[in-house]
Every structure is written in structure tokens, then in C-alpha cells.
Structure 1
């Protein structure tokens, strides 16, 4: 099957959860035998000053990056206005490059990542099925707009974009059954709906971390042998910022009797939080997380808002970490074994951390069970194999 994946902006190399989902699906579908090409509507501005083709080979698939002033201006206006890629869809209606028309004719199905371009792509093609590939429910994800001056206008625009995406698409891909039900509730969505969860790469199953890598971190941060190490990984989205601030608050309140505890806040989220606790480290963005996963015991996801599911959860699990999360953070884990992660209310998060630190054997058992389940069921290849079948049946 020839699959055209359409994205508003560049996602490779992946730096955020949404990037990993987009790249993971493209990789997984390629691994099950599909031919995948990605059309990127607006690339990095630096590409205007670089020589070379707009085409590039990415692992098992190809990508075309369509840098053009109208598209890039639409992206800038979108980010400055309502902080989404909403206006890029409108720009597609003003100018459709011939390469996109050719790719649409080549494709058996088109997967549009996010709602912003669905209507425009659907209007360009009359015969190729268009599938809205969602990462969350945007009208839920952007509720904070309503708290800002004039935000109701931007929120209405987001709501209408998502509503049109469902109306104009031939199918809808959701991360979780919760998202599927919310789409149905908000928009009375009666389109063909597929639940394709987030996953992990095959390469995540085998660690290449050396003992030297581990010792380097342990020595740099002076981590004791008997210390429990926790990590929270995230981008600078407000959902993650709020979760990180709350986690820092809980860790600082741990009683002195608790065994030595070290927390790493990793990713751009660490630039948005402050702490003077000597046992909490903010690292910024780190390209290779494997050494940190190797020394960690606990993976945290104490979010209280947001839709979709967090890819960080599956990365924690495939690395054998014991996951501690909130009920909201556990969305997308309904099919997991009951004892493969720990759910705690935010009010009890501090107590939960304290109790978990007291039983490292149980902690490792939970991490091992989670790793086994994710390794056997949650690779992008296995997820994409099921997705391929569902798409064929549209």
C-alpha cells in the first residue's frame, strides 16, 4: 500500500512525543511492507540558506520538505496567534505544489497528522481516502486559551478546525479509546474510527549503554549506591510544566527518613521550572536518554490534564522503570497488566513515592512486568501491522 503522510512541520529527528508518534507510525508501516512518503508543508527556516534537494531518505521511508514563503508565513502567524499550525491548512488552499498533487495521485491513502490540513487535503483530492491521524483531542488540549484575553476567538477556530477535520475525513485514528469516545461526544463523530496506541521503536528493546556511560553520570551527580533515582521527561508544554512543578513539590516534602532520593527533570520542561533542592537536577534537552534510563528506578508522569497518551510512559516501561502516574496520566494503559504500573492521586503522590522507595524489590518486579508487556505488544511495528489492516478496510 502506498501511504502519503502529511505533516504541518518537520518531525525528524523527533524531539517531542508528537514527533515520535508521527515518525513511529511511518517507520512501523514501512516495516510491515507499506511504501511511505511524508510531505512536510513547512520546513526549518534555515533550509533557505542550505543547498541540497527537498527530498531526503529517512530510515525506511522518504520525505519531501516544501519550504515556501506562503507556507512559512502561515506557520509564523499560526504560532504567534493561536500557537498551533492552524493557518497552514488555509495556505494549502492558496497554493498547491505540483509535487503534492503527484504524491496524492500516487497514494492509496493519505494520513494527515493533526486536524489543520485535513479539509484542504480532502478538497485537493476527490478519490484518495483521507484519514485524520490525531495525537489528542485539540479542543481539549487547548482549553487554556479560554483563560486568556481574546482566547475564545482562537479556541473557536481550533474547535472548528477539528470539527471540519472529522467531517472531511474518511477515517479517524486515535491514540486511546478515551479520545475516541471524546471525539464522539464533542462532534458526534460517525466516521470510521481506529485506535492505534503510542509505542516504542524496536531499537529501544536493546540497550547499548556501557558501564562507562553509567559511571560517568553517577560520578557527575555524586549519586550514592543506595539512592533511588527517578526521572521525569517532557517538552515545555504547559501540561508538563505543571506536572514537573508538582513533582518537585512532592519530592521536597519527602521526610528525612526516606532513603536517598534523586530526581532528574529532563527535556525543555526543565527550563520552565525552578528548584533549589540539591537532589533535583534539571538537565535541559538530552539527545541520548539511554544512560539516564539505565540508572533510573522510577519514571514519573504526574499530569492532571491533557489528552492522547504520553509516549514517555512506554519509554519508561521498555527500559524497565517502575512507572508512577496519576489516573489522568494512565490514559492509554487500560489493556496493560494491573500490576505493571502504579497509579496515585496527586494528593497522595508524595506518600506513594515514599512507600515505593521502601521496597526496591517490588519496584523492579513492576518494571520488569511492564517491560515484558511493552516489548511483546507495543512496538511501532506491531501497532502498525494492526493499523495497516484497519486502513485497508476503510
Structure 2
């Protein structure tokens, strides 16, 4: 099988949650002798920062990322910087799509990410080639209230039109949760079957918590965190729902003294006003060095999400590292995780009390963390979701 995947920007190596899903869903296809070619419409900030301007990246045997770098792609992403969706990507492809036509012609099946590019793909692929719409969120929910002063009504109508065209025009849909699948069924008239392939973690990341390593000690020392302090970690990108959750973390931190330290990892920390943070909050920014050690230096992981779409990849990443998690009910949505067995669930106003109880119960932390890792291993890995997607494609559209 030759699978052409269409993505909105450079994906490999994956950095953000969406990148991990884009890569993770196709990760296992080459292991079965399939060819995967990913068309990336433009670059990413990390790529330009590192001056990695390669057009073609060989990720593995029979797995290639082709990058179409064009100023128009980058220009039309500008509204995303102020919170708008990338509704102009289809128009950009109408002007600049060098290489995509060939990839679509060569494909046995096309996997198109999100509704921004899928309508273009549907209009330009041979009618005999199946198109699978790869949903990461229900975008009409995610941008249903963009809270921007200009063109809000037009943007909402445009997002709905693009998502409707993608859901109803695709030959099949793959989404993150049964909840998202039901929203599509209730809101639109899906043009084909829907597969739920949940977000996950990589099998190589499944491991025991290792708080006593030299690397974990080094991380605590780097941020001036006492060896005796309970460390609570929140991580995320600079994305509105993550910023909202990080602000909740800061509010919770004010309820504690220095014996409980809150570490905010990822670009979400850039949205916090450093001067206004309490002394027991540290923003680490985007972490490359000692990335795994930050998990080992952590006692409790936090997931105080209150909005957003899909399911939280960060939650499964916490599970994979055997970390006990305190999450809001919304943050745990879409996962088959049992409260008090795989994680602790509490509303925002009850988060401090839940954290205190876990901080005082190291044995319970170990039990909950171990249960969480076992759940991730059995249900939530990218490898499992990729194999599930491949079986689905072969059964519905094969043989190839």
C-alpha cells in the first residue's frame, strides 16, 4: 500500500501533540511493507529556528516526509498567532502545492489531517482513491467561541463549512474518541465509517518512575527545588486551553508553601507573567536536555484542563512514566481511566485538597502511577493505534 498523508506543517521530529498523532498513526505502516509519504504544507517555527530547511526527510525505510516550503504557506498561518484557526490553507494549496498532485496520483489511500486541507484533497484526488479524514479535534467545538474581536461570526461559519465538507465528503474518518465520533454523527452526515484510534504514547516511553537518578537530582538543583519538596508538573504548548490550565496551576500553587513546588514545562510557560508568579512556581520553557529527567524529578502530574478538543496526549504521557495524575473531569474526558485507580479526578476548586492527599501518601502515588502505566501499555500506545488504523484501511479499501 502507498499511503499519502497530508499535514499542515513539518511534523518530524514531533514536538507538539498534533505532531505526535500525525506521526504515530502511520508509524507502523512501513513495518508491514507499506510506503508512507507525508506532504507538509510549509514549515514550523522550530524548523526555521534550527535552519533545517531540508525538503525531504527519510524518517525510516519506506517512510518519507516531503516539505513544501513556500512563503504563502507561512504568511497565511499568521492569524493562528492570535488564536484564529488556519482556515486559509486550502486556498494556499490552490496557489502553491508543488509535489502534492503527484503524491495524490500515486496514492492507494490518502490520510488528510484536520479540515483545513481535506476539502482541497477531496477536490483534487482521483475519485477511485479513498480519502480518510484524520480528525484531531471537533474543530467547531474548539473554535466555537474564539473570543476575538474581528470576523468571529465569519470564522465560525467557515470552520463549520470546512468540517462538514471533510466529514461528509471523506470515505472514512479516524478520530480520537467515541465522543468525537458521536458529535460527528449527530452534527453531520458522515460519508463513511468512523474509526476511533485514541491518542497514545510510544511503547519505548513506557517505564517506571525513577526519582532517585542523578539526572532527576540535577533537574531539581537546576530550578532551586528542595530535595524534600513535592514537585507537581504541568506541561503543554502555548495553546489557549493549556494557558487556561497553567493559570489554574498558578492559582493552586498560591495555596501551598515551599514544601510543594509547581513546575510548568513547555512553551505554555511563555504565556505566564513571570514577575507575578509565586516563589513555588517555575517555568521551564521548551525542554530538550534532560527531558525524561523532568518526569523523574516529578512526584505528581497535573492535568487541570477545562476546555479544548479531542483527548489530552499529555495525560497519556504522564501515565507512560508511571506518574500519579490529578486531573479535572474535563481533562480525563475520552479515556477509559477509572478515578482513584488510574488517576485522581477533582474539580478545580478541589485540586489543592487532592494534591495534599497525594503529597502525604507516597505509597498511594506509586500504586496509582503503576496502574496508569499498565493502562497506557494495554490501551494507549501509538503503535496500537497505528496497527488498528492499518487493519481498518485494509478491511475497508483493500486489498492493495
TM-score normalised per structure 1: 0.90
1:128 offset after TM fit, Å? 1.0
Matched, 1:200 2:232: no
- Tell me, in whole angstroms, the C-alpha distance in 1 between the residues paired with 2:317 and 2:44: 27
TM-score normalised per structure 2: 0.89
Which of 372, 375, 396 is matched with 1:373 structurally? 375
1:88-124 CA distance string (max 9 Å, x none): 1122234543x32222222211111111111111111
- Of 375-384 and 202-211, the range deviating more from structure 2: 202-211
1:147 offset after TM fit, Å? 5.3
Matched, 1:348 2:345: no
**In the alignment, is the contact (CA less than 8 A) between 2:217 and 2:297 conserved in 1?**
no
1:33 offset after TM fit, Å? 4.2
- Of 180-189 and 199-208, the range deviating more from structure 2: 199-208
- Tell me, in whole angstroms, the C-alpha distance in 1 between the residues paired with 2:113 and 2:120: 13
Task: Report the counterpart of residue 296 of structure 1 in structure 2.
Answer: 298
Task: Report the counterpart of residue 132 of structure 2 in structure 1.
Answer: 131
Task: Report the counterpart of residue 178 of structure 1 in structure 2.
Answer: 179
**In the alignment, is the contact (CA less than 8 A) between 2:209 and 2:296 conserved in 1?**
no
Gaps of 5+ in 1: none
- Tell me, in whole angstroms, the C-alpha distance in 2 between the residues paired with 1:71 and 1:336: 43
- Tell me, in whole angstroms, the C-alpha distance in 1 between the residues paired with 2:187 and 2:93: 27
Which of 213, 216, 219 is matched with 1:217 structurally? 219
1:372 offset after TM fit, Å? 1.7
Task: Report the counterpart of residue 36 of structure 2 in structure 1.
Answer: 36
- Of 38-47 and 1-10, the range deviating more from structure 2: 38-47
- Tell me, in whole angstroms, the C-alpha distance in 1 between the residues paired with 2:369 and 2:380: 15
1:366 offset after TM fit, Å? 0.2
Give structure 1 regions of 4+ aligned residues with deviation exceeding 4 angstroms.
Answer: 44-47, 49-53, 206-210, 335-338
Q: Secondary structure of 2:28's match?
A: helix
- Of 367-376 and 65-74, the range deviating more from structure 2: 65-74
- Tell me, in whole angstroms, the C-alpha distance in 2 between the residues paired with 1:293 and 1:146: 34
1:212-268 CA distance string (max 9 Å, x none): 3222122223433432211000111110111111121112113x6xx9211101111
Matched, 1:120 2:114: no
1:34-66 CA distance string (max 9 Å, x none): 32110112235987x979762111245201111
- Tell me, in whole angstroms, the C-alpha distance in 2 between the residues paired with 1:251 and 1:182: 36
- Tell me, in whole angstroms, the C-alpha distance in 2 between the residues paired with 1:308 and 1:167: 19
Q: Secondary structure of 1:373's match?
A: helix
Task: Report the counterpart of residue 168 of structure 1 in structure 2.
Answer: 169
- Tell me, in whole angstroms, the C-alpha distance in 2 between the residues paired with 1:370 and 1:351: 21
**In the alignment, is the contact (CA less than 8 A) between 1:82 and 1:154 conserved in 2?**
no
Task: Report the counterpart of residue 105 of structure 1 in structure 2.
Answer: 105
Q: Secondary structure of 1:306's match?
A: coil
Gaps of 5+ in 2: none
Q: Secondary structure of 2:25's match?
A: helix
Matched, 1:390 2:392: yes
- Tell me, in whole angstroms, the C-alpha distance in 2 between the residues paired with 1:360 and 1:68: 53
- Tell me, in whole angstroms, the C-alpha distance in 1 between the residues paired with 2:251 and 2:142: 24
1:280 offset after TM fit, Å? 1.2
**In the alignment, is the contact (CA less than 8 A) between 2:167 and 2:189 conserved in 1?**
no
- Tell me, in whole angstroms, the C-alpha distance in 2 between the residues paired with 1:353 and 1:226: 16
Q: Secondary structure of 1:127's match?
A: coil
1:292-341 CA distance string (max 9 Å, x none): 10111211110111110111111111101001111110012126686111
- Tell me, in whole angstroms, the C-alpha distance in 2 between the residues paired with 1:264 and 1:371: 21
- Tell me, in whole angstroms, the C-alpha distance in 2 between the residues paired with 1:248 and 1:79: 25
1:75 offset after TM fit, Å? 3.5
> Superposition RMSD on alpha carbons, in Å?
2.6
Distance 1:279 1:168, change over 3 A: same
1:133 offset after TM fit, Å? 0.3
